[in-house]
Homo-oligomer: A and B are copies of this chain.
Amino acid sequence: MSTEAVKVGLLGVGTVGGGVLKTIRLQQQKLSERLGRPVEIVKALVRDPGKKRTVELDHDLITTRFEEVLKSDVDIVVEVMGGVEPAYEYVRALIEKGCHIVTANKELLARHGTELIQLANRHQVQLAYEASVAGGIPILGVLRQFLRTNDISSVSGILNGTTNFILTQMEQAKLPYHEALKQAQELGYAEADPSSDVEGWDALYKSYILAQLVFGEALPLNQARRRGIDSLHLGQLTLAHELGYRIKLLAQATKAEGGVQLSVSPTLLPLDHPLAQVQGADNAVQVSGNIVGDLLFMGKGAGELPTASAVVEDLAYLLTQRFSPHPLWRERQGNHGVGKEGTWSFVYLESTGLQGTPEQILHFLNLGGVSIAKQRIQYDWANVLRIGVIARGFTDEHRAALQRDFGIQTDVFPVISRGEEQDILGAKGREVDGKEIHFGY
């Protein structure tokens, strides 16, 4: 066994960086056995050297100047500082110097991956990023190595642990959104500025990376359909649940005729759908292949050690592989991810003015050609009327008319259907008589 250690530089010693240090120390023997030589951290870039950390760090290793990492004799650099700048400049400089890169930085990849991959190929270094998607779940490795013969039609999942934790809390503890968010922040699941998580950016970056890996292309980020959970409220979750669904922040990358579709949206999943079972900060990814069928991968999506596990496994795997050029990524304009016609949606109607009865409102929709599979109606103590319907054919014109005629606010969410939904009202344009309408409450 050679005694020359693998020299590793570390950019960032926050939560994940601390976990990487701990993991390399704890699993040193396994790493040495596998690689034939030990792994040694030789330089760690931090912002604040005085900050208290959960992991001990030799003072000689710490630096606040990137140049010291760059000029040190590192073979491979782990980038876990997050954010685009200055990570982008640092990673570029390191690749140009011939360093392999292991990164957990989804935003960096989603914004500059296309270019960084070309640069890495040109300099014959490896760029590894298993940790950037779904924490400790080795989903990228599986897709790159073991699902290459299948035609993959979609990769979807719950890719953001913070928002899944918030949704789980809202549903289980009947908390309004802002209280659940506060709880997530207190427990360290959400950051002080939670916008990247709750606005759906984080999940979008990850599904962009999945799309590039699986389909070799993705939409430019600004063309993807993105909606977060920050405008969701408890009434929507409750009505959805009564209708037999759970609302999850679902990220989807789907191969469609017009190109690859990307979307992140609060989405209704049937309660017995595997992704509806994913609770708390867990992540799950569902892959649909034409030969293998549906596969589901589930695990901890974030946190110090699960993400560190992906970083260190990635690092070790990289060191056992010969260099081969990374398949190129490309961005392509395309289908904006508008829902297919004829699919069912969850239409949520809310009115405080009580300008119409539920019967009138549903009759109005029915006359307007909207098919309704299921409905639930709630009044609360403040006389707020809430109607949730699983509907088909609901358009912006219906939305405008409801606002105008009944003072109703409308919100529409996609539904992952089991194909069981049927029009219970028999909507056929204007043929249906009001008396035929049956209500489920």
Tell me which residues across on chain B come within 8 A of A53, comparing CB atoms: none
> How long is the Cα–Cα vector from A296 to B298 in the complex, in angstroms?
5
One of B31, B141, B289 near A309 (C-beta < 8 A): B289
Is A30's CB under 8 angstroms from B309's CB? no
| In the complex, chain A residues 302-321 whose Cβ is within 8 Å of any chain B Cβ | 305-306, 308-310, 312-313, 316-317
Interchain CA distance A291-B317 in the complex, whole Å: 16
Number of copies: 2
- Whole-angstrom distance between the alpha carbons of A136 and B150 in the complex? 11
B-side contacts of A147, CB under 8 Å: 138, 313
Does any Cβ of B come within 8 Å of A23's Cβ? yes
The contact of A148 among B23, B34, B310, by CB within 8 Å, is B34
**A312 and B291 in contact, given A149-B30, A151-B27 (Cβ under 8 angstroms):** yes
Contact with B along A315-355 (1 / 0, CB 8 A): 01100000000000000000000000000000000000000
A141-B292 Cα distance, complex, nearest whole Å = 15
The answer to whether A299 touches B309, judged by C-beta atoms less than 8 angstroms apart, is no
Which residues from chain B contact A27 at a C-beta distance below 8 Å? 149-151, 291
Q: Interface size on A (CB < 8 Å)? A: 42
Query: Which residue of chain B lies nearest to A291 when distances are taken between CB atoms in the complex?
Result: B309
Residues 263-306 (chain A) with a chain B CB within 8 angstroms: 274, 277, 289-300, 305-306
Contact of A295 among B30, B298, B312 (CB under 8 A): B298
Chain A to chain B: the 4 pairs with minimum beta-carbon distance, closest first: A138-B146, A136-B292, A292-B309, A291-B309
Can you add 9 more A-B contacts, CB < 8 Å, to A136-B293, A137-B295, A149-B309?
A: A34-B148, A141-B142, A142-B146, A145-B145, A150-B313, A291-B306, A291-B308, A292-B310, A297-B297
On A, residues with C-beta under 8 Å from B are 23, 26-27, 30-31, 34, 130, 136-138, 141-142, 145-151, 274, 277, 289-300, 305-306, 308-310, 312-313, 316-317
23 residue pairs of the A-B complex, CB under 8 angstroms, read A26-B290, A27-B151, A31-B149, A34-B149, A136-B292, A136-B293, A138-B142, A138-B145, A145-B145, A145-B317, A149-B309, A149-B316, A150-B309, A150-B313, A274-B277, A289-B309, A291-B305, A292-B305, A292-B313, A293-B306, A296-B297, A297-B298, A298-B298
